[in-house]
Structure 1
Amino acid sequence: MRDEETPAADGNYGYTPHKEVAILFLVLFGISTILHVGQATYYRIWWLLPTAALCGIGELLGWGGRLWSAITPTADTPFMIQISTIIIAPTPLLAAIFVIFSRVATQLGTSYGWLTPKWYTILFLPCDVIALVVQGVGGGIASSANDLAGANVGANVMLGGIAFQFVVIILFSALACDFVQRYVRERPVRAESSARGVLTLRLKLMLVALAFATTTLFVRSVYRIIELSGGWNGRIIHTEVYFNVLDGGMVVLAIFSFNLAHPGMLLRSPPQVKDIALESADSSRLLVAGSINVR
């Protein structure tokens, strides 16, 4: 998708992607994706496969396209691949954030949020799917366009999807922050009989990881909005370092945050006092029965 104003030597990007940078991101996303598949299998958290692992796969395809472009700068196919994949790849990871927070809210207490835990998933996951579809359609239009005008149509569609996702991130962040501050101040939204959960060290680490990943994806969305609003001939879209740091770098930080602070390890519910008592009673009965049989 070159136009007459872009030098052929600079290909479709306005620059030639650096091979070393593409290889670095392929290695990083490859490591994270393999870890997510292994961790999801080990902890049997299968919903992480179509979310965090799928994000990694999408990034691998996109950065594979950029490596191809680094080798053959004027080729159209790798440019189309990276447009269609990198723009939508972080969206499944955002879905993982919604699900993880709903699990945290369940453990801390359902009365501290304006939404019940299941509604975080019911409300935000469809929004994530809408953003994914719109961005994918825009990427498809842009990558298949034969001229700059058609490519700009695709860019505008992608911009709409990113902007919608940006609003969703802000709304989710506002609700999540309100939930946490209400829990800390012990000011529930609803008077319910549900018990107040304990904010354990594991849950604190999970909340820190959620806040960190959400912030990085927020920064990435801001960059993408500014980038796409400038069109295909804008200065920002033609500056590689911005893309490497504010898109690739932010998504790397977000996806690795859940490798290090994995929900399978941090969201394990501690045994309840009642459960411990029942287990102790069962053990006592078994010991008594065993001693009687021996006699």
Structure 2
Amino acid sequence: MSVFLIIVAYFFHKISVNKDDLDQRFAGIRETTHFKGVIWSMGAALVLIYIRTIFKVVDTAAGFGSKVIHTEIPFCVFDGGFCILAVLLLSVFYPGFSFKKTKYVIQIEKEVVSNEKDH
């Protein structure tokens, strides 16, 4: 998961640095507040799940007789709370809402249909 986090961070860094190289047909979607929320919520959910994973590694490494596994509040916060928060973030900022039938998506669909007719 650490490798995945590094790759995702690198990907988002490259996108933010090279905004001019992105397909301009989708610029309208990328500039919406909801789409920016989608990106931030995915990042936040990823970090929350990563912290939860670290907690579970510590929890499991300490064994079944340790204080960590028998302390209810950290377990509820790190195990259940972080998962619930990640799910809520991804539900509120559902990516599909950003790609609803906007003029940009309709334009691309028309281009695809016209290209299919040409071939």
Q: Give me the TM-score of the superposition, normalised by structure 2.
A: 0.74
In structure 2, the residue corresponding to 1:237 is in which secondary structure? helix
Aligned-residue offset at 1:203: 2.0
Q: Which amino acid in the other structure matches residue 23 of structure 2?
A: A
Superimposed CA distance per residue, residues 169-220 of structure 1 (whole angstroms, 9 cap, x where no aligned partner): x2222222212211221189xx9xx725422223211101101111110111
In 1: Cα distance, 2:17 partner to 2:101 partner = 23
Residue matched to 1:252: 84
Residue matched to 1:139: none
Residue matched to 1:293: none
RCO higher in structure (CA 8 A, sep ≥6): 2
Residue matched to 2:18: 186
Residue matched to 1:200: 31
**What percentage of aligned pairs have identical amino acids?**
20
Contact 2:35 / 2:95 at 8 angstroms: preserved in 1?
Answer: no
Segments of structure 2 that go 5 or more residues without pairing to the other structure are 111-119
Q: Cα distance 1:175–1:271, how it changes in 2: closer, same or farther (>3 A)?
A: farther
CA RMSD of aligned residues (A): 2.7
Q: Which amino acid in the other structure matches residue 12 of structure 2?
A: V
Q: Give me the TM-score of the superposition, normalised by structure 1.
A: 0.32
Superimposed CA distance per residue, residues 119-142 of structure 1 (whole angstroms, 9 cap, x where no aligned partner): xxxxxxxxxxxxxxxxxxxxxxxx
Q: Cα distance 1:217–1:269, how it changes in 2: closer, same or farther (>3 A)?
A: farther
Residue matched to 1:223: 55
Q: Which amino acid in the other structure matches residue 180 of structure 1?
A: F
In 1: Cα distance, 2:106 partner to 2:48 partner = 40
Q: Which of the pair has more CA radius of gyration?
A: 1
In 1: Cα distance, 2:18 partner to 2:84 partner = 35
Larger helix proportion, structure 1 or 2? 2
In 2: Cα distance, 1:218 partner to 1:243 partner = 15
Aligned residues: 105
Contact 1:230 / 1:236 at 8 angstroms: preserved in 2?
Answer: yes
Q: Cα distance 1:245–1:172, how it changes in 2: closer, same or farther (>3 A)?
A: same
Residue matched to 2:113: none
Superimposed CA distance per residue, residues 19-57 of structure 1 (whole angstroms, 9 cap, x where no aligned partner): xxxxxxxxxxxxxxxxxxxxxxxxxxxxxxxxxxxxxxx
